[in-house]
Amino acid sequence: MVETLPSPRELKGKRLFGYSMGDLGMSLPNIFTGVFIFQFYVYTINLNSILVSIGITTQLLVSAIFAVIFGVIVDNKKPSKMGKRRPFLLIGLPVWVATTILIWYPPWRCPPGNSFYLPTAAYFWIIIIIRSVSRSLLFNVYISMLPEQSQTQKNREKVASVRSAFMIIASVIALMLPLIVQSFLEDPKNAKWWDPSGKIVLTFIPLIGIGVAIIGLISVLIIFFSVDESFYKSITNYKIEKVSLRDRVRQMSLPARDSN
């Protein structure tokens, strides 16, 4: 008896739309935060720009490191009833949504004349780093799903087109929102939290932060239900090739060693 090979998996219809929503739901909060977080903390919360830059730079480094770590963890996980990668979406989602909202609500604002107020700096650093770790997990899982869900070149091109469209929409919205808020300010150059313009910023920017976080929450849940990992159940001889963190780092360094 000749065994027939299963047809290549493809993302179509609602599943294609649902998976691609990740480039809207995850990109919108990330771009909005990236665009406005520095201005919010420096020019409204009154935190020194050096301290803000330290937090932003640190979270970029942490994100890069944990992207590798999570890649190894996810690849080495044994498939469960929910699948291999899908469960990690539910693990990272609550933390990511919570920190995406909390980053706009510092419990301490820097007093006038003291922009090096350490409680505010510590809060900002902790929240932005935790957010970076959870975001790294979500994005790592989201990207690594694609080769298993879309196995034909034509389908991957279609997925890339839809994802690009969502990314453009997210970028435009994220860039427009701060400009809209700034248009309501009587004196944009004086927008500290104790100024009238600063009070407007403190009201609307966190509300927008909540809004984009909710969009992110809904989008990740849509991804979770759009991705089908039931094919793992039909693979009776499935074996996990364990990859260590050292091996993954070695694989990443191969292009740099290539002399061609």
The structural domain count of the chain equals 1
Q: For residue 202, give its domain range.
A: 14-246
Give the span between the Cα atoms of 42 and 26, in whole angstroms: 25
For position 51, what pLDDT does the model report?
97
For position 96, what pLDDT does the model report?
97
Look at residues 58, 36, 60 and name the one whose alpha carbon lies nearest to residue 125.
58
| Helix locations, 115-152, DSSP H | 118-149
Residue-by-residue pLDDT tens, the chain, 260 positions = 444 556 788 889 999 999 999 999 999 999 999 989 999 999 999 999 999 999 999 999 999 999 999 988 888 888 778 888 899 999 999 999 999 999 999 999 999 999 999 999 999 999 999 999 999 999 999 998 998 888 899 999 999 999 999 999 999 999 999 999 999 998 888 899 999 999 999 999 999 999 999 999 999 999 999 998 777 766 655 555 665 656 655 555 545 455 55
- Does residue 181 belong to any structural domain of this protein? yes
- Quick one: tokens of 131? 């957010």
- Does residue 176 belong to any structural domain of this protein? yes
CATH number for position 27? 1.20.1250.20
- Does residue 254 belong to any structural domain of this protein? no
